[in-house]
Amino acid sequence: MRLYDYFRSSAAYRVRIALNLKGLAYESEEVHLLRDGGAQFQPAYRALNPQSRVPSLLLDDGAVLIQSPAILEWLEETHPTPPLLPPEPLARARVRAVFSVIACDIHPLNNLAVLNYLRDALHQDSGAVESWYRHWVIEGFRAVEALIEARPFCFGETPSLADVALVPQVANARRFAVPFDDFPKIAAVDAACLGVDAFARARPEAVNPHS
């Protein structure tokens, strides 16, 4: 498998974590989202992923998967061990709810394309853009803080898709100086996850030491 990746992309970070947790070998190819106007917009990459975003996962049979939720579901269905969803339907729904708060509510509002639109098309200065970013992260984190258990992971003693989504969002939130005083459970889960090798090897600093 080949992962088309960018070290600071939350969505790509999720997939790196899941691949590591499931013990799957993969090649990584960087798609630099900023250099030279963004490699994601080059014709060769657009042919691979018509949305011009990362991640994309090229399978050994030549099939290409896009969108991190779809990739993660495919990994769970085709490589079920270790599981990232609990066996009980209610517990699975709770994990998926936290994953969705992050991947569907927080992250899309703070995607690079959205932040660039605020700067370029709407002429917002960096202070306004960063305020936008922090507002939506904090709004989402309030819900996540109330929903997770931190025992020590989001829901119990093993990582789930909720943790796979949370850790990259925390990393980005720290880059934008989001305060964590009101989110002790989130901070505790993040610390527990980063003590696991699969999470630690997926960190932006690990895949791009010069970041």
Residues 100 and 194 in one domain: yes
- At 49, which CATH number? 3.40.30.10
pLDDT at 167: 98
**Rounded to two decimals, what is the model's pTM?**
0.95
Residue linked to tokens 């799957």: 24
* pLDDT on residue 208: 85
Residues 44 and 70 grouped into a single domain: yes
What per-residue confidence (pLDDT) applies to 84? 98
Q: Does one domain contain both 124 and 70?
A: no
Query: For the segment 59-118, what is each residue's pLDDT rounded down to a tens digit?
Result: 999 999 999 999 999 999 999 999 999 999 999 999 999 999 999 999 999 999 999 999
Strand bridging mode 2-5 / 27-30: parallel
Q: Which two tokens stand for residue 210?
A: 């010069």
Give dist(CA 86, CA 169) in Å, integer.
22
Query: Cα angle vertex 175, ends 171, 181, to 5°?
Result: 75
How many alpha carbons lie under 13 Å from residue 88 in its C-beta half-sphere? 4
Do residue 111 and residue 177 come from a single domain?
A: yes
Share of the chain above pLDDT 70, in %: 99
Query: How many domains does the chain fold into?
Result: 2
Q: Which of residues 44, 64, 81 is at a domain's end? A: 81
Q: What is the 3-state secondary structure (H, E, C) of the chain?
A: CEEEECCCCHHHHHHHHHHHHCCCCCEEEECCCCHHHCHHHCHHHHHHCCCCCCCEEECCCCCEEECHHHHHHHHHHHCCCCCCCCCCHHHHHHHHHHHHHHHHHHHHHCCHHHHHHHHHCCCCCHHHHHHHHHHHHHHHHHHHHHHCCCCCECCECCCCHHHHHHHHHHHHHHHCCCCCCCCHHHHHHHHHHHCCHHHHCCCHHHHCCCC
Q: At a CB cut-off of 8 Å and minimum separation 6, what does 21 contact?
A: 82, 84, 159, 164, 198
At which of 57, 81, 105 does a domain end?
81
Q: Indicate whether 38 pLDDT > 60.
A: yes
pLDDT digits (tens, 9 = 90+) for 110-139: 999 999 999 999 999 999 999 999 999 999
- Residue 2: other Cβ atoms inside 10 A: 14
Does one domain contain both 142 and 99? yes
CATH number for position 192: 1.20.1050.10
Q: What is the pLDDT of residue 36?
A: 87
- What lies within 8 Å, CB to CB, of 155 at 6+ separation is 86, 91, 94, 95, 98, 148, 149, 162
Same domain assignment for residues 184 and 109: yes
Listed residues 21, 51, 81: the one ending a domain: 81
* Range of the structural domain that residue 62 is part of: 2-81
Instruction: Say what the pLDDT of residue 83 is.
Output: 98
Q: Each residue of 152-163: pLDDT tens digit?
A: 999 999 999 999
pLDDT tens digits, one per residue of 170-191: 999 999 999 999 999 999 999 9
Residues 133 and 188 in one domain: yes
What does the alpha-carbon distance between residue 116 and residue 89 come to, in Å, rounded to a whole number?
Answer: 39
The pLDDT value recorded for residue 210 is 65
